[in-house]
Amino acid sequence: MLRALLWDVDGTLAESERDGHRVAFNQAFEAMQLPWRWSAAHYGTLLRVTGGRERLLADMAGRADAPALAVEREALARELHRRKNAAYAELVRAGAVPLRPGVRELIEEAAAAGLAQAVVTTTSRANVQALLKRHFGGSPCGPFDLVLCGEDVAAKKPDPEVYLRALAALRLRPPEALAIEDSPGGVAAARAAQVPVVVVRSEYFAADTVEDAVAIGPGLHTRQGWSPPPHGRCAADGRVTLADLRRWHAGMEHVSQFG
C-alpha cells in the first residue's frame, strides 16, 4: 500500500536549475567581478556533478584563470556559493521560479487523502526553504511532514542516505513510499534505498538514460507521453492524479525510456 510521497526539489517541484540556480551563479560571478558566465548548455554539463559548491570546484578545475591553489579554490567556491544562494532566494521571492504545472494539485490531492509527504533532496536548506516559503507559506516545512536537505546527510545523491533517513523518520518500509524524481542521480539514490520511483522529465534531464522506474513521463501536468500510460478516469484538467500514482506503484513494473 502506498503511504507516502517523497519529493525531489530541483527539476521536480520546480525547474529551479534552469530558472534559478544558473541565473544566480552568473549573478554571483558578476558581483565578484569574475569574467565567468555559465551558458545553459555548460550548466547542463555541470549538473552531472551533485552540489553547487562541488560544481564550482569542477568548473574551476578546467579554468586557466581560476586560483592555482586548492585552498584558494575552496575559499572562492564557498564565497561564490554563499552569494549564489542569496541571489537565488531573491529570484524565488520575485516569482522567477514557479512550481512545475501539476505539482501543487498533486500535493494537495495527496494531503487530502492522508498520505505522508516529504522533501528528500541534497540541495541546501536555504534554497529549499526559500522555495517552500514562496509557494506554500506557513511553517518552514510548508505542506510537508518532513524536509531533508543536504545539511542532513554526509553523502549527496546518488548516495541513498537521504532516502534511508526519510524512511526511518517516517517509519516506512521502502515499498510503502513512492519517490518523484527527475534525474538519473536521484533515481539511483531512491532505487539504492529500494524505493520505487516515478520520473518527471525536466529541462536538463529530458533525454538522459533512466531505467528502473515504475513510470516515466514529461511532467505531472499531462497524461500524454507516459510509459506506462495512465489508465482509468482522468482529472478534468488532464493532469496526472494520485490514482495514477497508486496504479503505477501497485504495478511495480520497472520501465525505462526504451519501453
Residues labelled as active-site residues:
8, 10
Query: CA 58, CA 70: separation in Å to the nearest integer?
Result: 12
197 within 8 A of 187, measured Cβ to Cβ: yes
169 burial via Cβ count (<10 Å: 0-12, 13-18, 19+): middle
DSSP state string for 15-56? -HIIIIIHHHHHHHHHHTT------HHHHHHHTTS-SHHHHH
228 burial via Cβ count (<10 Å: 0-12, 13-18, 19+): middle
132 within 8 A of 160, measured Cβ to Cβ: no
Q: 54: Cβ–Cβ under 8 A, 6 or more apart, which residues?
A: 156
DSSP state string for 116-159? EEEEE--S-HHHHHHHHHHHH-SSTTTT-SEEE-GGG-SS-TTS
Instruction: Give me the residue label for grid cell 515504475.
Output: 214
